[in-house]
Amino acid sequence: MSPSTELSFIHRFTPAAEPGRPPLLLLHGTGGNEDDLLPLGRLVAPGSALLSPRGKVLESGMPRFFRRLAEGVFDENDLHRRSNELADFIAEAQESYKLVAPIAVGFSNGANIAAAILQLRPEALAGAALLRAMVPLQNPPTVVLTGKPVLILSGASDPIVPLDNARRLASLLTGAGATVQHRMLPAGHVLTQADLAFTKGWIDQL
Protein backbone atom coordinates (compact mmCIF):
# COMPACT_ATOMS: atom_id res chain seq x y z
CA MET A 1 0.00 0.00 0.00
CA SER A 2 1.36 3.45 -0.82
CA PRO A 3 1.99 5.94 1.98
CA SER A 4 -0.67 8.49 2.86
CA THR A 5 -0.33 11.94 1.32
CA GLU A 6 -3.46 13.31 2.94
CA LEU A 7 -1.88 15.32 5.76
CA SER A 8 1.00 17.80 5.52
CA PHE A 9 3.74 15.10 5.55
CA ILE A 10 3.89 11.92 3.48
CA HIS A 11 3.52 9.28 6.18
CA ARG A 12 2.44 5.84 7.24
CA PHE A 13 -0.09 5.28 9.99
CA THR A 14 -0.80 1.98 11.72
CA PRO A 15 -3.75 2.12 14.12
CA ALA A 16 -3.39 0.77 17.65
CA ALA A 17 -4.12 -2.92 18.08
CA GLU A 18 -4.30 -2.57 21.87
CA PRO A 19 -6.10 0.37 23.43
CA GLY A 20 -4.21 2.28 26.10
CA ARG A 21 -0.75 1.78 24.57
CA PRO A 22 1.02 5.11 23.87
CA PRO A 23 1.14 6.08 20.18
CA LEU A 24 4.65 6.37 18.72
CA LEU A 25 5.94 9.01 16.34
CA LEU A 26 8.74 7.33 14.37
CA LEU A 27 11.41 9.65 12.96
CA HIS A 28 13.95 8.17 10.56
CA GLY A 29 17.61 9.08 10.05
CA THR A 30 19.23 10.78 7.05
CA GLY A 31 18.42 8.90 3.84
CA GLY A 32 15.56 7.01 5.45
CA ASN A 33 11.84 7.20 4.85
CA GLU A 34 8.45 6.53 6.43
CA ASP A 35 8.91 2.75 6.16
CA ASP A 36 12.26 2.48 7.95
CA LEU A 37 11.30 2.46 11.59
CA LEU A 38 7.95 0.64 11.36
CA PRO A 39 9.53 -2.76 12.20
CA LEU A 40 11.37 -1.16 15.13
CA GLY A 41 8.13 0.46 16.30
CA ARG A 42 6.31 -2.89 16.20
CA LEU A 43 9.12 -4.48 18.22
CA VAL A 44 9.47 -1.83 20.93
CA ALA A 45 5.76 -1.08 21.34
CA PRO A 46 3.62 -4.01 20.17
CA GLY A 47 0.00 -2.91 19.82
CA SER A 48 0.74 0.85 19.78
CA ALA A 49 -0.45 3.16 17.01
CA LEU A 50 2.51 4.09 14.79
CA LEU A 51 2.78 7.41 12.96
CA SER A 52 5.79 7.63 10.67
CA PRO A 53 6.37 10.74 8.51
CA ARG A 54 9.00 11.24 5.81
CA GLY A 55 11.38 14.19 6.29
CA LYS A 56 10.78 16.91 3.70
CA VAL A 57 14.34 18.15 3.23
CA LEU A 58 16.46 16.47 0.56
CA GLU A 59 20.24 16.33 0.89
CA SER A 60 21.63 14.88 -2.35
CA GLY A 61 18.32 13.09 -2.72
CA MET A 62 18.31 11.76 0.86
CA PRO A 63 15.29 12.69 3.01
CA ARG A 64 16.02 14.50 6.30
CA PHE A 65 13.92 16.45 8.77
CA PHE A 66 15.96 19.70 8.57
CA ARG A 67 18.90 21.20 6.69
CA ARG A 68 22.47 20.95 7.87
CA LEU A 69 25.45 23.01 6.77
CA ALA A 70 27.93 20.20 7.43
CA GLU A 71 28.02 16.96 9.42
CA GLY A 72 26.84 17.93 12.92
CA VAL A 73 26.45 21.63 11.98
CA PHE A 74 22.80 22.51 11.71
CA ASP A 75 20.95 25.28 9.86
CA GLU A 76 19.13 26.45 12.98
CA ASN A 77 16.70 28.74 11.14
CA ASP A 78 15.59 25.76 9.10
CA LEU A 79 15.52 23.58 12.22
CA HIS A 80 13.15 26.05 13.93
CA ARG A 81 10.89 26.16 10.90
CA ARG A 82 10.90 22.38 10.37
CA SER A 83 10.28 21.66 14.07
CA ASN A 84 7.19 23.86 13.97
CA GLU A 85 6.05 22.25 10.72
CA LEU A 86 6.46 18.75 12.17
CA ALA A 87 4.74 19.74 15.44
CA ASP A 88 1.82 21.07 13.35
CA PHE A 89 1.68 17.75 11.48
CA ILE A 90 1.55 15.89 14.80
CA ALA A 91 -1.44 18.02 15.83
CA GLU A 92 -3.15 17.34 12.46
CA ALA A 93 -2.53 13.60 12.80
CA GLN A 94 -3.82 13.60 16.39
CA GLU A 95 -7.03 15.17 15.13
CA SER A 96 -7.43 12.88 12.09
CA TYR A 97 -6.48 9.63 13.79
CA LYS A 98 -7.84 10.50 17.26
CA LEU A 99 -4.54 10.14 19.08
CA VAL A 100 -3.16 11.46 22.34
CA ALA A 101 0.25 13.19 22.14
CA PRO A 102 2.75 10.57 20.92
CA ILE A 103 6.07 9.40 22.25
CA ALA A 104 8.73 10.17 19.65
CA VAL A 105 11.19 7.43 18.79
CA GLY A 106 13.83 9.08 16.64
CA PHE A 107 17.09 7.86 15.19
CA SER A 108 19.98 10.21 14.39
CA ASN A 109 18.53 13.11 12.36
CA GLY A 110 15.06 12.01 13.56
CA ALA A 111 16.27 12.03 17.18
CA ASN A 112 17.72 15.50 16.69
CA ILE A 113 14.46 16.99 15.46
CA ALA A 114 12.57 15.23 18.27
CA ALA A 115 14.95 16.90 20.78
CA ALA A 116 14.35 20.27 19.06
CA ILE A 117 10.56 19.79 19.25
CA LEU A 118 10.87 19.08 22.99
CA GLN A 119 12.62 22.44 23.32
CA LEU A 120 10.44 24.45 20.92
CA ARG A 121 6.99 22.80 20.96
CA PRO A 122 6.96 20.61 24.09
CA GLU A 123 3.18 20.13 24.00
CA ALA A 124 3.54 18.11 20.77
CA LEU A 125 5.21 15.12 22.47
CA ALA A 126 4.40 13.09 25.58
CA GLY A 127 8.04 12.00 25.73
CA ALA A 128 10.87 10.85 23.51
CA ALA A 129 13.36 8.05 22.96
CA LEU A 130 16.34 9.72 21.30
CA LEU A 131 18.64 7.20 19.64
CA ARG A 132 22.09 8.67 18.78
CA ALA A 133 20.91 12.25 19.40
CA MET A 134 22.99 15.39 19.75
CA VAL A 135 22.30 18.96 20.92
CA PRO A 136 20.08 20.40 18.18
CA LEU A 137 19.98 24.11 19.11
CA GLN A 138 22.95 26.03 20.47
CA ASN A 139 20.74 28.56 22.31
CA PRO A 140 17.44 26.86 23.05
CA PRO A 141 14.62 28.89 24.59
CA THR A 142 13.74 28.26 28.23
CA VAL A 143 11.23 25.44 28.34
CA VAL A 144 9.42 23.51 31.06
CA LEU A 145 9.50 19.75 30.54
CA THR A 146 8.52 18.74 34.07
CA GLY A 147 7.97 15.00 34.29
CA LYS A 148 8.33 14.35 30.54
CA PRO A 149 10.07 11.00 30.08
CA VAL A 150 13.13 11.04 27.83
CA LEU A 151 15.44 8.15 26.99
CA ILE A 152 18.77 8.96 25.33
CA LEU A 153 20.79 6.06 23.93
CA SER A 154 24.29 6.95 22.80
CA GLY A 155 27.00 4.84 21.19
CA ALA A 156 30.31 4.89 23.08
CA SER A 157 32.20 4.75 19.78
CA ASP A 158 29.80 6.85 17.69
CA PRO A 159 31.90 8.71 15.09
CA ILE A 160 29.09 11.25 14.48
CA VAL A 161 27.96 12.18 17.99
CA PRO A 162 30.73 13.09 20.47
CA LEU A 163 29.95 11.76 23.96
CA ASP A 164 30.23 15.21 25.52
CA ASN A 165 27.61 16.48 23.13
CA ALA A 166 25.15 13.71 24.08
CA ARG A 167 25.86 14.37 27.77
CA ARG A 168 25.16 18.07 27.23
CA LEU A 169 21.79 17.20 25.65
CA ALA A 170 20.93 14.99 28.63
CA SER A 171 21.81 17.76 31.05
CA LEU A 172 19.88 20.42 29.09
CA LEU A 173 16.73 18.30 29.13
CA THR A 174 17.21 17.33 32.78
CA GLY A 175 17.68 21.02 33.61
CA ALA A 176 14.33 21.75 31.95
CA GLY A 177 12.65 19.23 34.26
CA ALA A 178 12.41 16.15 32.01
CA THR A 179 12.88 12.71 33.56
CA VAL A 180 15.93 11.68 31.58
CA GLN A 181 17.60 8.29 31.37
CA HIS A 182 20.87 8.45 29.45
CA ARG A 183 22.64 5.22 28.58
CA MET A 184 25.92 4.76 26.82
CA LEU A 185 25.95 1.55 24.81
CA PRO A 186 28.95 -0.34 23.43
CA ALA A 187 28.02 0.68 19.89
CA GLY A 188 28.72 3.14 17.10
CA HIS A 189 26.10 5.23 15.27
CA VAL A 190 24.26 2.16 14.00
CA LEU A 191 21.50 0.74 16.20
CA THR A 192 22.03 -2.58 17.97
CA GLN A 193 19.88 -5.18 19.72
CA ALA A 194 20.64 -3.34 22.98
CA ASP A 195 18.92 -0.22 21.60
CA LEU A 196 15.79 -2.23 20.90
CA ALA A 197 15.84 -3.90 24.32
CA PHE A 198 16.37 -0.64 26.25
CA THR A 199 13.77 1.23 24.23
CA LYS A 200 11.21 -1.55 24.71
CA GLY A 201 11.90 -1.72 28.46
CA TRP A 202 11.59 2.06 28.77
CA ILE A 203 8.29 2.18 26.83
CA ASP A 204 6.89 -0.74 28.84
CA GLN A 205 7.31 1.18 32.10
CA LEU A 206 5.70 4.45 30.88
Question: Residues with catalytic annotation?
Answer: 108, 158, 189
How far apart (Å, rounded) are the C-alpha atoms in residues 117 and 114? 5
Q: Which string of b and e fits 176-202 if b means at least 16 CB within 10 Å?
A: bebebebeebebebebeeebbebbeeb
8 Å CB contact between 132 and 111: yes
**Pairing mode, if any, of strands 73-74 and 68-70?**
antiparallel
- Binding status of residue 72 toward ligand MLT by CB under 6 A: yes
Q: How far is the CB of 136 from ligand MLT (least distance, A)?
A: 8
**Binding characters for ligand MLT, 107-146, by CB under 6 A (x = yes):** -xx--x----------------------------------
**Stretch near ligand MLT under the rule CB under 6 A, chosen from 45-53, 88-96, 106-114, 168-176:** 106-114
- Binding status of residue 199 toward ligand MLT by CB under 6 A: no
| List of residues contacting ligand MLT (CB under 6 A) | 29-30, 68, 71-72, 108-109, 112, 160
